[in-house]
Structure formats: C-alpha cells, structure tokens
Structure 1
C-alpha cells in the first residue's frame, strides 16, 4: 500500500489522492513514468519529485521519513514494507507519571523472539535493544510508553512508530487494548482479567514479599500485551486495505501466537485480589 500512497507528499490530502487514483495513477512508478494526474503543471512536477524521493527512501528502508510525513491514522500503510524488522513493545510501571514513577518490566516481541526486561535485573539492557529496530508498534505508546521510556532512560527512541490506538480509531474501533482484543475474540488464558492496575499490585507483591510467582505472573501479562500487538497490527492493516478494493492488495496472514515463556498463576492473582478486597482498597482502571 505504501507505494500507492500520495497523501504523505506536501499539498496532497486524501481527496486529492483519491482523484489521482481515479485517473489511473496507481503508484509512484506510474507518476515517474509520466502517467498524467489531474493536477496543475506545477503540482504535477512536485508530485514527480516527491514520488522519486519516496522510492529512494523506500529503497533505503527509511521508515522514519514516511512516519514523519504520514498522519497517525495512515501510518498503517508502512507496515507491510517494514514488518520484517519491527519491535512490538509494552511497558509496565508503578504509575502513570514518568516524573515520579518507575518502569517495572518491559516486554519486546520482534516476530522471532520474546525479550523481557526487569527492574533491578536487566532493565537497562533495553536501551541497546530498542536502538536496533527501525520501527516499533505499540498500543497508546505515543502517549504513554515511548514518552515514559524516553524520560526514564534519558534517551530518544528514534524508530518510526505505529500506534495501534490510532490505527483502530480511524476504523471506528475504540477502547483500550483489552477491549479491542475482546472485540476480535482474542483469548488471554490465565492472564484474562488482569490490567494495568493489577500489574502494579503484582510488582508490589514481588518487591515487598519477594514472591517470584508474582513477578512471573506480571511478566506473563506483559508478554501478552506485547505479542498480541502483532496480530492486532495485521488485523488493522487488513481491515484498512479492504477500503481500497481497486488496488487488489493481498491481506497479510496472521501469525501463530508464540509460546509465552511465563505462566500467570491464578492462585497468586486470587490471593492479591482477596487481600485488597478485604482491605477495601482494590480498584480497577
């Protein structure tokens, strides 16, 4: 889809892009080869230049160049071209304020390997790892995960970033990550019902009482948040391309879910829930 995209070029919005397609101009090569579009001479010259530059940047695998020019609602268009080198990331924290709260765990799935990072163990190894990827996919990461990571580690995440919150919002599918998973019938197994607030309680149980099973449950939850992003991204991409039947785009096949190396211990979850219910302090986000 990316090579058929024109709305990332200056002066071209979705309406003009549709007119270009309707004129039989289907991709950048059509423009470069001289297929006429319904534009003024000056705009046509700018379009030819922009398409040439776009092709060059794609050949250079410069995902950031496209991410800087595409609106958030259209960044899904990059996915099929860069999906072979994507980090699907999710963080867990002690709260929502990056100025005073800590990152407790991070899960990263790259389509081949699940990697986890834990406060007090290997958390700072994440800095080197995240720098290896030209693209990341998250859910609400533009508002939460990435700003938190940048503040906490004192780094700049340079990768192009597709935020699934905006991918789905432009499809009319709204809500949080767990709600969208339920919309598509995705099952979380023993981690079903856990949320960001419970992740804080699990970390507290591990940190204060040394309960390794609480940490494992937290990591199982965090890993699901990460690995589920891949098939959600694929679902979002496939739903978007259905809106462009004239391009005969091929849907991406969903991936088998990788084996979660961690187990969510329901007895630990139940014990924590009962503890906080008894104290009258349990709540949900």
Structure 2
C-alpha cells in the first residue's frame, strides 16, 4: 500500500490522492512515468523531486521517514512493507503511574518468535532486543507502554509506531483492547475476563508467594495481548483498504496463531477471583 500512497508528498492531500487514483495513476512508478498527470506544474515538480527520495528510503528500510510525513491516521499503510521488521509490544506494570510504579513483565512478538521479560530476571535484556525492530505496534502504547518503558528503563524507542487504539477508533471500534478483540471475533479462552487489574494481582501473588503458576498465568496473559495485536493489525489494515481501490489486490490473510509457551493456571485464576480486594 505504501507505494500506492501519495499523501505523504508535499502539496498532495487525501483528496488529491483519491483524484490521482481515479485518474488511473495508482503507484509511484505510474506517477513518475505519466506524461501529463493532473497536477499543477509546481506540485508536479515537487513530486518528481520527492518520489525518488521516498523510493530510496523504502529501499533503505526506513519507516520513520514515512511516519514523519504521513498523518498518524495513515500510518497503517506502512505495515506490509515493514512487517518483517515489526514487533508487537505490551507491558504489564504495578500500576499506571510512571513515577511511582514499575514494569513487571514485557511481551514481545514479531510474528515468528515470542519473547518475555520479567522484573528481577531478564528485564534489562529488552533494551538490547528491541533494537532489532524498525516498527512497533501497540494498543495505547503512545500514551502508556512506550513512555513507561522509556522512563522506567532510561532508554529511547526511536522506532516508527502504529498505535492500534487510534486506528481501530477510526474504524468505529472502541472499548479498550479486549473490547476491540471481542468485536472483531478474537477470543482469549481461559483468560477471558482477565484484565490489567488482575495482572497486577497475579504479580503481587507471585512476589508474595513465589508461586510460578501465578507468573506463568501473567506471562500467558501478556503474550495473549501481543499475539492478538498482530491479528488486529491485519484486520484493521484490511478494513482500511476498503476505503481505497486496493481492497481486493492488497488484502492480507489472517496470521497463524503461534504456540503460546505458557498456560494460565485455572486454580490461580479462581483463587484470586475469590479474594476480596
């Protein structure tokens, strides 16, 4: 979709882009080759200067160049071109205050490999591993996960970023990550009904008792978030394509679900649900 995009170019609005598509110009190459595209002389000159630069930045694998030039509501267009360098990211914490609370676990998934990081075990390894990726996909990561990580770990996350909260909102889906999952037909099995507050209880139980079952239930929950982020990204991408002429040609299949390395412990879930807080 990115090579069919023109609205990242100076002077080309979404309306101008649609007009180019309707005119039959639907890719960068077609615009560069066209003898008389429907653009003013000034805009055409700018386009012919900027498109070779866009081609070079795509070849160099530089998604930030595009996110810096596209409005945030159009960042979804980068996904297929940079999918191999994309990480789905989610954190769990002791609370919502970046000054007072701490990260407990982080789950990282790239469509092939699941990695988890646990406070007191290997959390510091995240700062090295995340450098492997050029594009991050989160749900509400713009406001929570990314600034929390940067503050708590004293690192910068310079990657391009797609926040599914805003992408899904633009498609009419609301109600938080779990609500969006339900509306789009994604279930959580034994973890249905487990939420962020329950994740805090699982961490407290693990730290207080040392029960590995509590930690593994927390990690299973954390991983479920990132695995579902990939499915949500594909579903949202396909829905956004329906607003373009490329709904059929560019449609992506739903990803295969990976094997989750941890399973929730039903007894731990029942026990914590039965306790008054």
TM range (shorter): over 0.9
1:250 shift after superposition: 2.6
Q: Deviations over 1:138-179 (max 9, x none)?
A: 111111111111111111102111111122112122221100
Q: Which residue of 1 aligns with 2:119?
A: 119
- What is the distance in 1 between the residues matched to 2:33 and 2:51? 11
1:247 shift after superposition: 7.0
- What is the distance in 1 between the residues matched to 2:268 and 2:142? 32
- What is the distance in 2 between the residues matched to 1:108 and 1:186? 19
Alignment of 1:2-13 (within 5 A): 2-13=2-13
Alignment CA distance shift 1:26-1:207 (3 Å): same
- What is the distance in 2 between the residues matched to 1:9 and 1:101? 42
Q: Which residue of 1 aligns with 2:243?
A: 243
Alignment CA distance shift 1:36-1:172 (3 Å): farther
Contact 2:89 2:109 in 1 (8 A): yes
Q: Deviations over 1:78-114 (max 9, x none)?
A: 0011111211111000111111110000001111111
Alignment CA distance shift 1:37-1:172 (3 Å): farther
Q: Does residue 155 of the first structure (1) align with residue 155 of the second (2)?
A: yes
Gaps of 5+ in 2: none
Q: Which residue of 2 aligns with 1:206?
A: 206
Q: Does residue 74 of the first structure (1) align with residue 92 of the second (2)?
A: no
- What is the distance in 1 between the residues matched to 2:39 and 2:224? 48
Higher mean C-alpha deviation, range 179-188 or range 24-33 = 24-33
Contact 1:31 1:51 in 2 (8 A): no
1:116 is paired with a residue whose SS is strand
**TM-score of the two chains, using structure 2 as the length reference:** 0.96
Alignment of 1:1-285 (within 5 A): 1-245=1-245, 248-276=248-276, 281=277
Cα RMSD (Å) of the superposition?
A: 1.3
Q: Deviations over 1:210-256 (max 9, x none)?
A: 12111111000000001111111111111111221367523111112
Gaps of 5+ in 1: none
Between the two proteins, the alignment pairs up a number of residues equal to 277
1:12 shift after superposition: 2.0
Higher mean C-alpha deviation, range 241-250 or range 172-181 = 241-250
- What is the distance in 2 between the residues matched to 1:222 and 1:35? 53
Q: Deviations over 1:38-70 (max 9, x none)?
A: 221111111111211111111111111111111
1:35 shift after superposition: 4.1
- What is the distance in 2 between the residues matched to 1:200 and 1:248? 43
- What is the distance in 2 between the residues matched to 1:244 and 1:144? 31
- What is the distance in 2 between the residues matched to 1:125 and 1:99? 22
**TM-score of the two chains, using structure 1 as the length reference:** 0.94
